[in-house]
């Protein structure tokens, strides 16, 4: 029976298969004893895959925005310096005047006569002193008498000047080029010293005041360009002309003034406007707000891939934001920004990179 089984082709095939299996196993075992196991490597396919795009920083014009109050460049109330009756009105409300123009005239009230008297007295005292000095040289006049005459001449000069001033003050004049904005008196009114007569303003140049928070004042410098935006959309350009050296104790903000030309004499003095101070440009990247995330410290950050193909999170500051995207600072000038997959990787992780394909002119 055994001889028949041994002669069977099936039995012979099984014996040959067993022998081959034993030979193969003995070869693998020998190879394992002679060679160390190969170092295990992570397949490239196992690295996280992120999509990126290259971004180049561009200069971005920073602006400091504040609410401002528009004022005339000059605003003076013309008051009466003499008592009298208004006998003539030389200008009306809204009239343009030049520096030195007469605005009105008050009654004389004897001032012309007083000036003539003061002038005659001055001439007399001048002649008396001249004669006394001649006598003094000849020793016919004492030094005391000469001093008295000099004193009287000085008094006469003062009276003459006062009379001149009083006569000139009955015709008030414009202190600068401007516009008569108000007239407070009418023809025939009796005025006293200190009575308001007219309001004179200069509006061909304006002064705009605003308050700037203390944390932004270091970025301001005199001479910086300023844009003034009015409530109706009109715009004017000016320059930062003054920055206060001390902050307001209540608000901790600093007072600034802006000089703004107003050649068309727009009626905007006394109103409000938005003040935009043009600061020095800074490098910024335009990105989608969806790429912003919070880092471990709670600050806004953007995920990027460095030269070692590792993930980094850069803290950034939003400079401006619109529906299309945001301008941010804090990134290197040229950087590879992760546009897809940033939420699945950590800082320091090595990643595979796939460059984003997008049409020219689109924003990530």
pLDDT confidence of residue 61: 87
Q: Which residue has the tokens 């490239």?
A: 44
Give the whole-angstrom CA distance, residue 229 versus residue 208: 11
With 70 as the cut, is the pLDDT of residue 1 above it?
no
pLDDT confidence of residue 91: 95
- Displacement of CA 216 from its chain's centroid (Å): 9
- Note the pLDDT tens digit of each residue in 73-119: 999 999 999 999 999 999 999 999 999 999 999 999 999 999 999 99
- Note the pLDDT tens digit of each residue in 12-38: 666 666 655 665 566 545 444 555 555
Could you give the angle at the alpha carbon of 207 between the alpha carbons of 205 and 211, nearest 5°?
160
Query: Per-residue pLDDT averaged across 235-250, rounded?
Result: 95
- Note the pLDDT tens digit of each residue in 202-232: 999 999 999 999 988 888 999 999 999 999 9
- Note the pLDDT tens digit of each residue in 39-74: 555 555 588 898 999 999 999 988 889 999 999 999
DSSP 39: P
With 90 as the cut, is the pLDDT of residue 146 above it?
no
Please report the domains of the chain, with CATH numbers, ordered by start residue. Answer: 49-60+282-355 (2.40.420.20), 65-71+201-278 (2.40.30.170), 76-197 (2.40.50.100)
- For 314, list phi and psi in degrees, rounded to 5: -100, 125
- Note the pLDDT tens digit of each residue in 272-320: 999 999 888 889 999 999 899 888 788 899 999 999 999 999 999 998 8
pLDDT confidence of residue 73: 96
Give the whole-angstrom CA distance, residue 109 versus residue 120: 19
pLDDT confidence of residue 257: 97
Query: Per-residue pLDDT averaged across 155-160, rounded?
Result: 94
Confidence class of residue 186 from pLDDT cuts 50, 70 and 90?
very high
pLDDT confidence of residue 134: 77
Helix axes 111-137, 143-168, angle to 10 degrees: 160
Give the whole-angstrom CA distance, residue 337 versus residue 123: 93
With 90 as the cut, is the pLDDT of residue 182 above it?
yes
pLDDT confidence of residue 133: 78
pLDDT confidence of residue 2: 44
Q: Which residue has the tokens 């001055």?
A: 122
């Amino acid at each position: 029976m055994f001889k028949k089984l041994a002669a069977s082709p099936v039995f012979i095939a099984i014996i040959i298969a067993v022998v081959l299996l034993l030979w193969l196993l003995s070869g693998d075992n020998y190879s394992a004893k002679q060679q160390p196991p190969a170092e295990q490597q992570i397949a490239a396919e196992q690295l996280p895959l992120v999509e990126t795009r290259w971004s180049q920083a561009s200069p971005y014009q920073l602006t400091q925005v504040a609410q401002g109050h528009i004022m005339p460049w000059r605003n003076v109330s013309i008051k009466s310096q003499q008592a009298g009756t208004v006998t003539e009105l030389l200008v009306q409300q809204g009239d343009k005047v030049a520096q030195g123009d007469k605005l009105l005239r008050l009654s004389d009230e004897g001032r012309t006569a007083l000036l003539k008297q003061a002038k005659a007295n001055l001439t007399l005292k001048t002649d008396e002193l001249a004669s006394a000095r001649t006598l003094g040289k000849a020793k016919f006049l004492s030094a005391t008498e000469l001093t008295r005459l000099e004193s009287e001449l000085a008094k006469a000069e003062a009276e003459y000047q006062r009379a001149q001033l009083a006569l000139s003050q009955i015709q008030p004049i414009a202190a600068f080029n401007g516009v008569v904005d108000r007239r407070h008196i009418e023809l025939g009114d009796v005025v006293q010293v200190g009575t308001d007569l007219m309001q004179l303003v200069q509006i061909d140049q304006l002064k705009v005041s605003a308050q700037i928070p203390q944390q932004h004042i270091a970025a301001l410098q005199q001479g910086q360009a300023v844009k003034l935006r009015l409530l109706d959309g009109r715009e004017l350009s000016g320059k930062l002309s003054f920055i206060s050296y001390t902050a307001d104790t209540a608000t901790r903000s600093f007072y600034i003034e802006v000089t703004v030309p107003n050649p068309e004499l727009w009626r905007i003095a006394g109103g409000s406007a938005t003040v935009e101070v043009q600061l020095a440009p800074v490098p910024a990247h335009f990105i989608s707000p969806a790429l912003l995330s919070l880092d471990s410290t709670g600050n806004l950050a953007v995920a990027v891939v460095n030269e070692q193909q590792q993930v980094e999170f850069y803290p950034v500051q939003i400079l401006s934001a619109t529906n299309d995207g945001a301008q941010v600072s804090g990134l290197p000038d040229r950087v590879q920004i992760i546009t897809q997959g940033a939420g699945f990787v950590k800082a320091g992780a090595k990643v595979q990179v796939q460059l984003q394909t997008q049409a020219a002119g689109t924003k990530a």
